[in-house]
């Protein structure tokens, strides 16, 4: 394989201005990448040919290629991207709210979308319920590879650069395990002359690296944090998330209390509900006690089964009972509607399906 080229999406606007002279050319290129979603230098019509040829010797624009996508009846679209080195990662386009239309057929409020992005190829955490863990860890994504997922999804869905969108770092990988590149991607997204996605529209989900929760907090990036808790005692959490041995529940709770949070907002705690594991009212009672003193919101998530998993999806009845207990005891709670349940919904499932089909073709 030839040497991999760095993507211009790896650069902040300031860095690009230092790289490309004169500076107005850097501004034009920046606009092409983030406003026009240019995929390569050829698309940049007002950039001199000699400059494009020179840049193309060292750099590329888009480091990703869409190799597969699946669309759900609810509007969810799951994407599988191939990186320059042939590795693959997933991203998801989620419709959160439909557009509002008046009696004349005029749109009075645009539909609202969220993009779920990956931060690593594979994952080191090894959660027992997660399909991504099956393939182990390969490498971190660069800042540009993280940014490119959003640019590609916005382009593929004709979503204008200045339309609001939310980003959740909840795809493949543990975001805080790739903190440096994550932080740079967050800053690139925030830049006013780019996509202008503020920190308050970006949520970092972590399985609970308590020391790095502190590091992220000290960076003061203005992002929200979501904690993948999934259990109320260390024994079950260690079964589900082996890393809990090094970062137990208490250490996570203490780190969350130190995290700088907008006083108008709540800390999100993700709670994956698994039948006969953590869906009983005894667990709900412990959860209320555990989060006492934290301005918290609990997002109850149905476990999405995949082939080979020992875990099962909980019943709707048990989910509602669990939620009602939390609410009745002063803890704000929502049940996340399963998105893309009719496609490869579980994280890592589309990647795994694609690889299985490739292996079948090779064997035949």
Query: 71 vs 92, 251, 266, 284, 344, CA distance in Å?
Result: 10, 39, 31, 34, 9
* Residue 194: DSSP 8-state: T
Indicate if 193 belongs to the active site. Answer: no
β-sheet with 166-169: strand ranges across = 65-71, 77-82, 88-97, 112-116, 166-169, 202-206, 224-228, 267-273, 296-302, 332-336
Q: Which of 70, 116, 145, 347 is catalytic?
A: 347
Say whether 228 counts as a known binding-site residue: yes
Residue 304 is assigned to a ligand binding site:
yes
Can you say whether residue 300 is alpha, beta or left, with left for phi > 0 and alpha for psi between -120 and 50 degrees?
beta
Residue found under tokens 């209320």? 288
Report the sign of the C-alpha dihedral through residues 194, 117, 81, 54, in that order.
positive
Is 229 marked as binding a ligand? Answer: yes
Q: Is 3 exposed, middle or buried (0-12, 13-18, 19+ CB in 10 A)?
A: exposed
- Annotated catalytic residue within 90, 145, 270, 352: 90
For 295-321, b where at least 16 C-beta lie within 10 A, e where not — what string? Answer: ebbbbbbbbbbbeebebebbeeeebee
Write out the DSSP string of 79-114: EEEE-TTS-EEEEEEEEEEPPEE-TTS-EEE--EEE
**Residue 333 known to bind ligand:** no
- Our answer to whether residue 116 is catalytic in this structure is no
User: Does the annotation flag 116 for ligand binding?
Assistant: no
Sign of CA dihedral 130, 131, 136, 137: negative
SS3 state of residue 250: helix
Angle between helices 281-290 and 316-328 (to 10 degrees): 40
**Catalytic residue numbers, as ranges:** 90, 347
Residues flagged as binding site for [4Fe-4S] cluster: 123, 127, 130
Annotated binding site: 123, 127, 130, 173-174, 205, 228-230, 304
Binding-site entries for S-adenosyl-L-methionine? 173-174, 205, 228-230, 304
């Amino acid at each position: 394989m030839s040497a991999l080229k760095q993507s211009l999406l790896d650069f902040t606007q300031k860095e690009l201005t230092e790289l490309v002279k004169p500076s107005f050319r850097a501004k034009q290129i920046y606009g092409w990448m983030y406003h026009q979603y240019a995929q390569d230098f050829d698309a940049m019509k007002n950039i001199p040919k000699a400059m494009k040829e020179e840049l193309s010797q060292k750099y590329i624009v888009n480091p990703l290629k869409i190799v597969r996508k699946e669309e759900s009846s609810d509007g969810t679209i799951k994407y599988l991207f191939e990186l320059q080195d042939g590795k693959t990662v997933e991203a998801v386009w989620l419709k959160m709210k439909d557009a509002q239309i008046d009696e004349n057929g005029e749109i009075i409020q645009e539909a609202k979308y969220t993009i779920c992005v990956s931060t690593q190829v594979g994952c080191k955490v090894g959660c027992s319920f997660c399909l991504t863990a099956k393939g182990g860890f390969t490498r971190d994504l660069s800042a540009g590879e993280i940014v490119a997922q959003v640019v590609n999804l916005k382009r593929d869905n004709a979503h204008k650069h200045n339309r609001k969108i939310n980003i959740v770092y909840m795809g493949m990988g543990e975001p805080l395990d790739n903190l440096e590149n994550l932080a740079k991607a967050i800053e690139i997204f925030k830049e006013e002359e780019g996509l202008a996605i503020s920190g308050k529209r970006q949520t970092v989900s972590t399985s609970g690296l308590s020391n790095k929760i502190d590091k992220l907090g000290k960076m003061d990036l203005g992002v929200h944090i979501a904690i993948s808790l999934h259990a109320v005692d260390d024994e079950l959490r260690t079964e589900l998330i082996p890393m809990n041995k090094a970062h137990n529940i208490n250490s996570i709770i203490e780190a969350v209390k130190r995290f700088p949070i907008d006083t108008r907002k709540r800390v999100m705690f993700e709670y994956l509900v698994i039948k006969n594991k953590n869906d009983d009212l005894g667990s709900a009672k412990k959860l209320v006690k555990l989060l006492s003193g934290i301005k918290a919101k609990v997002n109850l998530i149905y476990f999405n089964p995949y082939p080979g998993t020992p875990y099962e999806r909980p019943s709707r009845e048990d989910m509602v009972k669990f939620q009602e207990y939390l609410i009745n005891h002063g803890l704000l709670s929502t049940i996340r509607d399963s998105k893309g349940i009719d496609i490869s919904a579980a994280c890592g499932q589309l990647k795994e399906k694609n690889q299985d089909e490739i292996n079948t073709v090779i064997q035949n």
